[in-house]
Structure 1
């Protein structure tokens, strides 16, 4: 199929000229209102009539009136055009100041340890922005899902995204409950994990994630086994607290349980470092003010914390 290299004239071409002439019943006054020549107004109206397939005005040397088709067209085109103008104004307003709905896709694990304090301070700073969090482990398409941005650990973010750091790098700790370790013993080396009940994570693509470890600077992966599989870190952490087995989770998520003595870290010398958590969004030339305000707020909080 042959492609056109120009955009065809749209149904709205000439509508503003028609509405102005219909209001003033005069081509010259319509031209003055729109800041164009009377000839330009006349050409626009004639082109519109040709596309509609009916005469819209009755023209004499002394007056301009509407035909029956013109009356019908005016009755339906005027409110539609006014709504279009209002929509343009509303969109323009969102493009000029931080306001509107900011939609973020986030994993469940970052909500309590990172986003709750951050979102609270952001909502207080920008009361005209509504924040919607969609908590999911799925790596969703931001554009297809209607999201302004996402939050994920750095290793899961596509390289074509712009990423803003939210946390420093942190270890992926291995933890177990005191009761579990008392009954099964404490592993001393990575290869001993094969003798333990290890809780596993199912990724969004359906695959079971191996455990990652670091042995004297060399990254290794171990296919562990155990009685429980979850699709997010908080659920897996809760199972570890209940004594179902060992779990490998981000250290900020396990910090409170470790401090409270409900979990104990093991194999500390072998745990790997994760790059941290990042806010990410598509690379656009123009970022909406609501997202720009959130990015600036994130950076400001990060500087204050460092």
Structure 2
């Protein structure tokens, strides 16, 4: 069973991607972070000033392991709120692995995924929204997702939630006073004004919920469904957007029988374009399933591009069919 994150253990982990590189960073957090690293550099860490880098030789027993840039912090003025030491070492997989082994031998425990951020949350250094934003920031693959994550990390979302909470506490207190002294000739609040404030708060919460779906679409890719009757150029449009022959193009109606999704970033915003089966009446079971999926994708998409042949709009019958 995993140890509790605040049980007094000291954790360590490689904070940079595994593999060969210029620099690797090993992070240690917990009450024994300084003493453990101090022992590895032969007593030359304890005199260091928190928040200032120090160049030291790390030892593996009696042998030097690497020349490292150490960045120590004292809790609570650190990311996790605990004592932390970051060891910036040369990016050799062997050095990183051996340093981790030395730390574990000295009593540290390999950190669980996300445990540094979990400790930051439990020590009050980050709230839940900010902790979630760290993962979103790491996963951001385009400018839109990055902008959303950095705003959330800065506390913008948390500030709004705290404002809602404070307003609800005040409204609840006023309501309680009204209930307690309702039979007396005392009015603690203008009830019409109170109702307007509560309605305004509910409207703002609804806007925030609506913004969540927009933010999710931006982060994961704005879904755009490409719909139309068979042979209207849906697959051709997708290929043109991607600048490659990703979808099969044929003059034979009903070639596309399933949905095909491709991601494209335009001006910093990620879009998920979805090619779909041509919409028509059919007795073919497989094609009918493709059409059902096309309508389902259209229902869940943020935008729909409906393609028509201009020739279909010439006469009334064609316009009616297109509209339908």
User: Which bracket does the TM-score occupy, shorter chain normalised?
Assistant: under 0.3
Structure number with greater CO (CA < 8 Å, separation at least 6) is 1
> Structure 2 length as normaliser, TM-score?
0.25
> Structure 1 length as normaliser, TM-score?
0.26
